Chains A and B, each alone.
Chain A
């Protein structure tokens, strides 16, 4: 079965640089979520989109922005990167509605040096 695709899988950036992470949801899933998981921490919700509109916002820094496109893929844009942004970034997708489960991608490991 098709799964959530994330690219790139690994990314190394320097401080103050920008990064763009991409997420391709499971076909027919129109809701996308982004999570950040720091070293030794639990996943933290960043932001979600439904039908190309932002639906929920969590602990996303102002330096980060995200959007969902007409084909439902989503991009997380991160600017002025800091060392503390080094983390695993997961994207998840689901059918619309709060009672549907979220399916997670394999994650993008971002390292900021």
Chain B
């Protein structure tokens, strides 16, 4: 079972509409969840972090977390062409046997989002 799953897309959304990106994770004990945006050929940049069940809003972005369903989502309101990118869901998953105390994050494959002008 994959640890962090995302629909690879592409997800096409008209400009001004709401883009909805989804992610599921396998480790029920995960506590930290992040959304990163990655433009082609660039490194990821942090968009949102969420730690508690419910919604967290930051400007046009809203992250939603449901730990019971092991589900985290990102909503982008008033989508702009500049939002076109790959969105990576990242989870702090406890990794047995890998050693080290401060694990890195486990990333999904990302959802390719296209905002159509």
Q: Do A and B bind each other?
A: no
